[in-house]
Amino acid sequence: MKRRIIFPGAVFHVIQRGVGNEAIFLEDNDRLYFLKLLTEICKNFDILCYSYCLMDNHLHLLLKDNSAKLSEFMKILLQRYAQYFNLKYKRIGHLFARRFEAKLCLEDSYLLILSRYIHLNPLKAGVVKEPVEYIWSSYNYYIKNTKPPSFLNVDFILKILSEKLDVARELYKKFIFDGIKNKEGFKYPDNIYNIVGDLEKLLALKLNLPSWIEKLAFLSSSPTPEKIKECKEIKDREGKKFLFRMLHQKGFSIKEIATLLNYHYSTVSRHICK
């Protein structure tokens, strides 16, 4: 299983499904409660949502993670919703599939394509005939001049089309219907980089990334003791966790990692075994 590369400001397309593809929303109040949780928890974690769609048995979120705490954010969000759902429906056991999907999105132009894919999910599933009919996605906030909830930022993607929001809304609507007409909007965008865990591929894109990613990419191909010692200066919390786990996956013992990086054995062990 690849480790997720998480850094402040990264944008992810998050998909979570019900265990065994079972329903996670049974009525409108369930979706309302989930959106209420999003409002509260996004604020606590400094996370913005660009687009969302809540289907019966799965959900889509396009999130900007300013705090580099995506996993912690999703854990709390999904746990609290699962507790509500199980209590309400007198249900026992896991509600969600074990691990949520998180696809790293690295270029603004792809966010536009991806938001269309998210908003067209209800049409693809045959739930509605027009995207405006589905009230459990962010689509109506994109095409109507109505105030979105505090967790949702529609302006960023709209302004890819035009700085004038009234013009951008019309262009976005056209973009959606072009995607329906030529069926491109129903396909998952090829240009979304699904490179979670692939440090070298990420580095090759020459983006403005945190310096620890460059250090780890340099180390990943041939992690010699000399190269590992050079990574002592990585102070980023996510960077250190990624470093410990990467070295362990490449065959280094916890004791070796702790010695080379000058950390206590228990610190390294805690992050690897978590």
User: For 34-85, what is each residue's pLDDT tens digit?
Assistant: 999 999 999 999 999 999 999 999 999 999 999 889 999 999 999 999 999 9
Tell me the residue range of the domain where 67 lies.
10-186
Could you tell me if residue 1 is inside a domain?
Answer: no
Tokens representing 23?
A: 């329903």
pTM: predicted TM-score of the whole model, two decimal places: 0.77
Could you tell me if residue 194 is inside a domain?
Answer: no
pLDDT higher than 80, residue 175: yes
- pLDDT digits over 128-164, tens only? 999 999 999 999 999 999 999 999 999 999 999 999 9
- Residue ending a domain, choose from 159, 186, 213: 186
Average pLDDT over residues 183-210: 68
Q: Are strands 47-54 and 10-17 parallel, antiparallel or unpaired?
A: unpaired
Nearest to 258 by CA among 232, 221, 219, 224: 232
Q: Clarify whether residues 18 and 110 are in a common domain.
A: yes
| Residue 82 DSSP code | H
pLDDT higher than 90, residue 106: no
Q: Clarify whether residues 154 and 263 are in a common domain.
A: no
205 pLDDT tier (thresholds 50, 70, 90): low
Q: Clarify whether residues 111 and 235 are in a common domain.
A: no
Structural contact between residues 154 and 148, judged by C-beta atoms closer than 8 angstroms: yes
Residue 171 is predicted with a pLDDT of 96
- Residue 97: burial class (beta carbons within 10 Å; 0-12, 13-18, 19+): middle
Residue 67 is predicted with a pLDDT of 86
Average pLDDT over residues 215-219: 77
Residue 35 is predicted with a pLDDT of 98
Residue 58 is predicted with a pLDDT of 97
pLDDT higher than 70, residue 197: no
Beta carbons within 8 Å of 23's beta carbon, 6+ residues apart: 56, 57
Beta strands in 32-164 (DSSP E): 47-54, 58-65, 101-105
Q: Clarify whether residues 154 and 249 are in a common domain.
A: no
Torsion on CA atoms 57, 119, 109, 13, rounded to nearest 10: -20
- Residue 21: burial class (beta carbons within 10 Å; 0-12, 13-18, 19+): exposed
pLDDT higher than 80, residue 18: yes
| Average pLDDT of the chain to the nearest whole number | 88
Element (H, E) at 15: strand 10-17
Average pLDDT over residues 184-199: 68
Beta carbons within 8 Å of 174's beta carbon, 6+ residues apart: none
Identity of the amino acid at 124: K
Torsion on CA atoms 203, 47, 161, 110, rounded to nearest 10: 40
Q: Clarify whether residues 36 and 79 are in a common domain.
A: yes
Residue 145 is predicted with a pLDDT of 93
Average pLDDT over residues 102-119: 86
